[in-house]
Structure 1
């Protein structure tokens, strides 16, 4: 059970990181001056 929780947490962390990266990319595309 602990291993499953760890895997689930890792997947969530990866999804959050990807989302943040997408947001940063979008900001750059909208305003290249940043």
Structure 2
């Protein structure tokens, strides 16, 4: 169970990192001056 939790947490962290990266990319595309 602990191993499954670790894997699930890792997946969530990866998703959050990807989402944050997408947000930064979107900001750059919308306002290149930033």
* TM-score range normalised by the length of the shorter chain: over 0.9
Deviations 1:10-29 (A, max 9, x none): 00000000000000000000
Give ranges in structure 2 of 5+ residues lacking alignment.
none
**Moved segments of 4+, more than 4 Å:** none
With normalisation by structure 2, the TM-score equals 0.98
The TM-score with structure 1 as length reference comes to: 0.98
The size of the alignment, in residue pairs, is 34
Unaligned runs of 5+ in 1: none
Are residue 2 (structure 1) and residue 2 (structure 2) matched?
Answer: yes
